[in-house]
Amino acid sequence: MNELENSFYVFHTFLTPLHRLFTGDASFHTQDRRMNDHPSSPKPREPVPVAVVGQFSWGLTILFVLASTCWVLLPYTGYLFSALVFLMAIVLAGTRWNRGPVLAMGVVSALVWNFIFIPPQFTLHIEKPQDIIMFAMFFVVALSMGHLITRLREREAALEQHHAEREQLLEAKHRAELLAESERLHRTLLDSVSHELKTPIAIIRTALDGLGQGNAYAAEIETANRRLQRIVENFLEMTRVESEALKPRPDWCEISDVLHAATTPLQKELSQHLLRLSGTDDLPLMMLDSRLLAQVLGNVLHNATLYAPAGTEIEIHAALTKGRLELRVRDHGPGLPLGTEDHVFDKFYRAPDSPAGGTGLGLAIARGLMRAMKGDIEAHNHPEGGAEFLLRVERVFQLVPSGTDSHQTPKTS
Amino acid sequence: MSKALIIDDEQQMRRLLRMVLESRGYEVCEAADGQLGLQEAAFQRPDVVLLDLGLPGLGGIDVLKRLREWTDVPVLILSVRDQETVKVEALELGADDYVTKPFGTAELLARLDVIQRRRFTRQSPEIIAGALKLDLLHHEATLADAALKLTPTEFALIKVLAEHAGRIVTQNQIMKQVWAGQSSDPSEGLRVHINHLRKKLGESGPRIVNEPGIGYRLEES
C-alpha cells in the first residue's frame, strides 16, 4: 500500500492548502475521514452551505475523496472508471451548486484524471493517442455538463420564482375581488334596507299631503313621520360612515351652495331661529365634497335648533386661512354641560336634559363625515354663552379670486 | 288632459300617486314592474312617465334606456336619497328630472308641470325665464327690461339653464353644451362663470340653484 499512501500524500498536500485557503476550515481532517468511511457513495454530499467559497472547498474535497477511492480501486476497474466517477460528481454538483465551483471541479478533475490515472501516471504527459482524445473529450464533457446543468437549474429557479410571483399576484387579485364583492354586498344590503324603510315613510308623507293642511291629527302624524325619517336616515348614514364605504368626491364648490344645501331640508326647523352669516361672501371657490360638508352643517344646525330657544340667533362664521377652512356655528342656547364637550360626538350620546326626538347620532355622523374629509369637528362653549361648533378642513385647494382664468393653489398649513 | 304612466313596484305608492294625479286632472295608467311599464308606455302613449329607480328585475335605468330608444316622452325619476350617481346617470340617459322620496305632493306636481312644458322650441328666438329674457338672434340679455352685459360664455351658460328653466341640468350636460368638452378643468370654469352670473342676476333675477353632486337648476323667482 505504499503507492496508495504516496498518492494520498500527493492529494493531501495538494488539497489541504487549497481547502484551507478557501474556507479556513480546521475541521477538514475529521470531515475527510468521515467521508472516507463510505468511499463507494457517489454523492457524499449533505445539504451544503450555499456560499460559493464553501462550494469550491467542498468540490475539491469531494474530488479528493473520489480520486482516493478510485486510486484504491484502480487495479480492479482500470483508469476509465475514475473518469465516469468524476463526471457523475460534476453532474450531481451541477444540480445544486453555482456555475463557478462546478466548472472548477471540471477543470481540476480533468487534470487529476490525467495526472494520476492516465498512463504514464504522475505526469501530465499522455502516451496513447486514444487517451489524448479521451482526455480532451472528458474535458469538454465535464465543462459542458457543468455549464448546462447549472444553467438548467438557474432557469428552473427563475421559472419557480416567476411562478411564485404569479401565484402571489393571483392571490392578491382574488383578495381584492373578495373585498369588492363584500363591499358590493354591503351596498346592496344597505340600499335594500334603505328602500324598505323609506318607502312606508314616503307613502305616509304623500297620504298626509292628500289629507291637506289644517287637520291637527294629520299635523301630529307628519311631525312623527319627519322624526321617523330623520332616525332612519341617521341610522343608514351612520352605517355608511362606519363601513367606510363613504368616499369624498371633491369638486369645486361655492360656500353659498353648501349653505343652501344644508339649510333647504331644515327650513321647517330653522323657521323659529334667525340665521346670521358672516365671512361667507369672501370665500373663493374651494375643492370640497360639498354634499358631505352640507350634511355635516345640516346636522350641526339641526342640533342647534333643538337646544337654542326659539327666536334666538344661530350664527355661522366662515374663514379660510392658509388652506384651512373653518366654519363656526354658534347658538345662543344653554351651551354644553361642563365636561361633555367631546362626548357629544359619541354615538348615541344624549345630553342629560336634551329634548326627546334625537337619536344621538347626528353629531357622531358629523364627526365621521368630517374625518372622512380629512378634517374634524369640535365643540365648546362660547365665552359669552351658547355652544359653538368648529368644523375644520385642512389643505383645501382654492381658486385665487383674482380674474376668471385663475390658477389653483395648493395651500398647506 | 294629460295621461301619466306610473311605473313603481309599490302598490300603495301607485294608488296614492293615482289619487294625487287624478285629482289634478291627469288620466292615469300604472305598471308594477319595468317590463309591464315598457308595454304600457307603448300601448297607452302617456304624456309623462313617473319612473321608480328601485324596480325589481328590469331596473329603472334599463327601463329608461329602452324607453329612450323610441320616445322622448318626459320622464320624472322617483328615487330615494343617496343615489346621486344613479340620478346623474338617469338624467344623462335622458330623464327630465327627479324627485327624492319621500317627496311633497306640491313638489311632485310642480316638477311634472315643468317637464311637460314644451322643451325649448326653435321657432322662437327668445327664451323667457321670469324676469330674464334672452334674445338668441342678437345674443342680448335683459333682466326686467334692463340690458344685462354678459360674456359669450356666460350667455351660452344662461341659455342652457334657461332652456331648461325649472329643470335640473347635470354638470356634464352643461359642459357639453357650453364648452363642448374643450376645457381642461371645465368644472372650475363652470363654477367661476356661475358665480359671475349669479352676481349679475342679483336678487331680482332667476336663481341658479346648485344640487350638490348633480347639477344646476334655474328657478324663476
Concatenating the DSSP letter of every residue in A307-372 gives HSPTT-EEEEEEEEETTEEEEEEEE-SS-PPTT-TTGGGSTT---TTPPTT--S-HHHHHHHHHHH
Residues B110 and B189 in one domain: no
Q: Which of B82, B187, B195 sits opposite A251 (nearest CB)?
A: B187
**Interchain proximity A229–B102, CB inside 8 Å:** yes
Q: What letter represents residue A61's amino acid?
A: T
pLDDT in tens, B182-205: 666 667 788 888 888 888 888 878
* pLDDT confidence bin for B14, thresholds 50/70/90: very high
- Are B130 and B206 found together in one domain? yes
Taking the CA of residue A399 and the nearest CA in chain B, the distance in Å comes to 8
Q: Residue B121: inside a domain, yes or no? A: no
Within this chain, do residues B152 and B112 fall inside the same structural domain, yes or no? Answer: no
pLDDT value, residue B164: 87
Asked if the Cβ–Cβ distance from A233 to B81 is below 8 Å, we say yes
Point out the residues of chain A with pLDDT beneath 50: 1-5, 7-48, 403-413
In order of their start, the domains of chain A are 1-245 (no CATH), 251-409 (3.30.565.10)
Average pLDDT over residues B131-136: 86
CA of residue A42 relative to chain centroid, distance: 48
> What are the pLDDT digits (tens) for A370-380?
998 889 999 99
Given this model, what pLDDT does residue A245 score?
A: 67
Interface of B with A (CB under 8 A): 10, 12-13, 16-17, 19-20, 23, 54, 80-82, 84, 101-106, 187-196, 209-213
Output the CA torsion sign for A301, A306, A308, A312. positive
Which residue does chain B place closest to A287, by CA atoms?
Answer: B188
B106 in the same domain as B41: yes
Let me know if residue B54 belongs to a domain: yes
Last residue of a domain, one of B88, B116, B144: B116
Residues B133 and B33 in one domain: no
Angle formed by the axes of helices B152-163 and B186-201, nearest 10°: 80
Q: What is the pLDDT of residue B183?
A: 61
Smallest Cα–Cα separation from B8: which of B41, B31, B38, B35? B31
Taking a C-beta distance cutoff of 8 angstroms, is the pair B141, B153 a contact?
A: no
Distance CA A384, CA A284 (A): 30
Q: How many Å apart are CA B205 and CA B207, to the nearest integer? A: 6
For residue B175, what is the domain's CATH number? 1.10.10.10
The CA distance from A3 to A330, in Å, is 108
What pLDDT score does A8 carry? 45
Query: Do B7 and B85 fall within a single domain?
Result: yes
At A392 the three-state DSSP class reads strand
Pair (B20, B67) in one structural domain: yes
B39 three-state secondary structure: helix
Closest CA to B165 of B111, B122, B203: B111
Q: Please report, rounded to a whole number, the percentage of residues in chain B having pLDDT higher than 70.
A: 93
Tell me what pLDDT residue A297 has: 94
Which of B20, B102, B193 is facing A210, going by the closest CB pair?
Answer: B20
CATH code, domain carrying B33:
3.40.50.2300
CA dihedral B109, B110, B113, B116 (to 10 degrees): -100
Mark whether B107 and B28 lie in a shared domain. Answer: yes
> Which of B188, B217, B219 is the best mutation test for A, with the most CBs of A within 10 A?
B188
- Shortest CA gap A327–chain B (Å): 18
3-class secondary-structure state, position B67 = helix
Give the pLDDT score at A376.
Answer: 92
Q: Is residue B67 part of a domain?
A: yes
Task: Write the residue in A194, A252, A291 that is nearest to B213 by C-beta.
Answer: A291
Residue B93 placed within a domain: yes
Residue B99 with chain A: CB contacts under 8 Å: none
Separation between Cα atoms, residue B82 and residue A233, nearest integer Å: 10
d(CA A404, CA B111): 34
Q: Out of A194, A240, A290, whose CB is closest to B80?
A: A194
Higher pLDDT, A14 or B13: B13
Q: How deeply is A353 buried, as exposed, middle or buried, from its count of CB atoms within 10 A (0-12, 13-18, 19+)?
A: exposed
The domain boundary residue, chosen from B95, B116, B137: B116
User: Cα–Cα–Cα angle for A169, A175, A176, nearest 5°?
Assistant: 90
Within a domain: B193: yes
Predicted pLDDT at A4: 42
Contacting residues for A318 by C-beta, under 8 A, at least 6 apart: A255, A277, A278, A279, A280, A283, A325, A326, A327, A328
Looking at the fold, whether B18 and B53 belong to one and the same domain comes out as yes
Is the CB of residue A41 less than 8 Å from the CB of residue A88?
A: no
Q: What is the mean pLDDT of residues B5-22?
A: 94
Q: Do B98 and B183 belong together in one domain?
A: no
Q: How far apart are CA A137 and CA A122, in angstroms?
A: 20
Q: Supply the range of the domain harboring residue B88.
A: 3-116
| CA-to-CA dists, residue A51 to A23, A47, A48, A167, angstroms | 10, 12, 9, 29
The residue from B116, B147, B172 where one domain ends is: B116
Residue B212 with chain A: CB contacts under 8 Å: 253, 257-258, 261, 290-291, 294
User: Is B149 contained in some domain?
Assistant: yes
Are B28 and B104 part of one and the same domain? yes
Q: Tell whether B100 and B136 lie within a shared domain.
A: no
Provide DSSP, B76-88.
EEEEESS-HHHHH
Burial of A239 (0-12, 13-18, 19+ CB in 10 A): middle
Q: How many domains does chain B have?
A: 2
pLDDT higher at B204 or B30: B30
Higher pLDDT among residues B122 and B144, named by residue: B144
- Note whether residue B82 is domain-resident: yes
pLDDT tens for each residue of B51-101:
998 888 888 899 999 999 999 899 999 987 666 788 899 999 999 999 988
In the numeric block, the cell 320622464 is attached to: B75
